[in-house]
């Protein structure tokens, strides 16, 4: 017999709250569940991955899952969890982002499942053409001001000093309506989301009850933070994207490999499908030999495989092996090219490089964003050419630095590599 999905989520630290204690009982028979994804970027990030995992767990437990891309609501912006009004995205951007997210999601959910295939929907399909007057009459009528104003997300914004626009205030109606729509057309009775979605979810449940007299449920997932309380994977513009063109396999792998000790076991539970017993064993080994970093390696491995496939993983591992191992002396350009396949690279002409000052080369390669930036890096001793520390700003690149006449390897710090192909 299958494990109840609620128990499973609890065990993995993926459960925060539910709207009714009856939910586990309801989930004993197959249900339809949905989660929404906001197209505020053209690629999902590691933070969204938690929600994807939850849907996967539901699917594994025999439930039907729907991933909703907020093509329409993305035009408005969800105020939940934000303390300032969000800049509106133009329609074109939202459409492009919606497509990107659609692509991302399709990699993680099973759309060909024999009994319960996943489904992807876009709320633009029903909200896009909904007239304002009609919407107010049909839907708005069922929302009470008191309840809307009482929402935590609204209250916090009103209490703060940035206030809130009517547009964002209306957001909760739209998401509530999504739930209603899915309840009607897909028999979807459960919505899952991050804990910041509680208000939006309950708004939907209430709307369904008022309009259809039917029961619906909500389940929330804790927001995943690192042990510093920072929102996961978003440490200042360093978001880990689930898209190789935005975050290379190598960087992705490295990100998880470098997780803090205090986080790694929890991350394994939350982000991967490694059985809990195995995680327990990893925790033990990590406890006695932290320097071996077995848990870190497993985490990075599982994540990279899930997101970038077996090929992506082996590339990332190969690169890691070389880059953190011995020097690169004696390696041929061809070998290096293979190893560095997914390390960010650029192409420069021979004249751009040969005889040029190292500052200019660092700048042209895109490793540094300005000459001043490059200069600082070198003065701090943080720039490496072919894994040898650059001694000073006067150093220049000579032909003998160019490996096999076609390759340079630049590095900033311990781990930010940049490959320069010479044409």
List residues binding RNA (CB under 7 A).
Answer: 84-85, 158, 161-165, 228, 235-236, 238, 254, 257-261, 290-291, 293, 296, 320, 324, 363, 369-373, 375-377, 379-382, 393, 412-416
Cβ–Cβ < 8 Å for 49, 144: no
Q: Which is nearer to RNA, 121 or 361 (CB)?
A: 361
Q: How far is the CB of 373 from RNA (least distance, A)?
A: 5
Cβ–Cβ < 8 Å for 22, 77: no
Q: How far is the CB of 264 from RNA (least distance, A)?
A: 8
C-alpha neighbours within 13 Å on the C-beta side of residue 200:
27
Q: Which is nearer to RNA, 101 or 363 (CB)?
A: 363
Q: Which is nearer to RNA, 85 or 186 (CB)?
A: 85
Q: How far is the CB of 290 from RNA (least distance, A)?
A: 3
Cβ–Cβ < 8 Å for 374, 363: yes
Q: How far is the CB of 69 from RNA (least distance, A)?
A: 27
Q: How far apart are CA 268 and CA 261, in angstroms?
A: 12
Angle at 78 (CA atoms; ends 77, 80), nearest 5 degrees: 150
Q: Which is nearer to RNA, 113 or 297 (CB)?
A: 297
Q: Which is nearer to RNA, 164 or 408 (CB)?
A: 164
Q: How far is the CB of 251 from RNA (least distance, A)?
A: 10
Q: How far is the CB of 238 from RNA (least distance, A)?
A: 6
Q: Which is nearer to RNA, 110 or 226 (CB)?
A: 226
Q: How far is the CB of 161 from RNA (least distance, A)?
A: 5
396 pairs with which residues across the strands? 357
In the structure encoding, which two tokens stand for residue 168, read together?
């964002």
Q: Which is nearer to RNA, 205 or 224 (CB)?
A: 224
Q: Which is nearer to RNA, 66 or 239 (CB)?
A: 239
What is the layout of strands, in order, in the sheet containing 64-69?
Answer: 17-18, 217-221, 190-194, 32-37, 64-69, 119-122
Q: How far is the CB of 226 from RNA (least distance, A)?
A: 9
In the 3-class helix/strand/coil scheme, how is 315-352 assigned residue by residue?
Answer: HHHHHHHHHCCCCCCCCCHHHHHHHCCCCCEEEECHHH
Q: How far is the CB of 135 from RNA (least distance, A)?
A: 23
Q: How far is the CB of 165 from RNA (least distance, A)?
A: 6
Q: Which is nearer to RNA, 201 or 368 (CB)?
A: 368
Q: How far is the CB of 299 from RNA (least distance, A)?
A: 11
Q: Which is nearer to RNA, 104 or 259 (CB)?
A: 259
Q: Which is nearer to RNA, 388 or 404 (CB)?
A: 388
Q: How far apart are CA 42 and CA 243, in angstroms?
A: 9
């Amino acid at each position: 017999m299958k494990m109840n999905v609620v128990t499973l989520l609890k065990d993995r630290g993926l459960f925060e709250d539910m709207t009714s204690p009856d939910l586990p009982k309801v989930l004993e028979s197959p249900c339809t569940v949905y989660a929404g994804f906001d197209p505020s970027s053209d690629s999902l990030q590691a933070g969204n991955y938690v929600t994807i995992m939850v849907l996967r767990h539901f699917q594994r437990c025999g439930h039907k899952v729907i991933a909703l891309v907020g093509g329409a609501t993305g035009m408005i912006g969800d105020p939940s969890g934000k303390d300032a009004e969000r800049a509106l995205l133009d329609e074109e951007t939202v459409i492009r982002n919606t497509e990107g997210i659609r692509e991302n999601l399709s990699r993680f959910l099973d759309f060909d499942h024999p009994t319960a295939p996943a489904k992807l929907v876009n709320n633009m399909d029903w909200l896009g053409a909904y007239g304002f007057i009609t919407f107010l009459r049909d839907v708005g009528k069922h929302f009470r001001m008191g309840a809307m104003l009482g929402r935590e997300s609204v209250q916090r914004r009103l209490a703060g000093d940035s206030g809130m626009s009517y547009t964002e205030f209306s957001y909760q109606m739209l998401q509530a309506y999504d739930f209603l729509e899915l309840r009607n057309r897909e028999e979807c009775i459960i919505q899952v989301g991050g804990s910041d979605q509680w208000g939006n979810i309950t708004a939907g449940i209430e709307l369904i009850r008022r309009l259809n007299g039917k029961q619906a449920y909500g389940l929330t997932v804790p927001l995943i933070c690192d042990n510093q309380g920072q929102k996961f994977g978003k440490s200042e513009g360093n978001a880990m994207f689930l898209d190789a063109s935005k975050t290379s396999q190598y960087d992705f792998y490295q990100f998880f490999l470098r997780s803090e000790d205090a986080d790694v076991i929890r991350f394994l539970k939350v982000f991967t499908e490694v059985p809990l017993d195995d995680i327990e064993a990893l925790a033990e080994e990590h406890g006695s030999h932290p320097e071996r970093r077995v848990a870190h390696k497993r985490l990075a491995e599982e994540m990279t495989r899930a997101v970038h496939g077996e090929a992506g993983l082996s590339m990332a591992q190969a690169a890691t092996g070389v880059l953190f191992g011995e020097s690169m002396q004696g390696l041929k350009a061809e070998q290096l090219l293979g190893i560095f396949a997914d390390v960010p690279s650029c192409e420069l002409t021979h004249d751009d490089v040969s005889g040029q000052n190292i500052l200019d080369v660092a700048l042209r390669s895109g490793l540094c964003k300005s000459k001043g930036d490059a200069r600082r890096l070198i003065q701090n001793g943080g720039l490496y050419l072919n894994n040898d520390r650059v001694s000073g700003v006067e150093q220049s690149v000579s032909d003998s630095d160019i490996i096999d006449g076609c390759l340079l390897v630049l590095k900033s710090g311990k781990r930010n590599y940049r490959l320069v192909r010479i044409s």
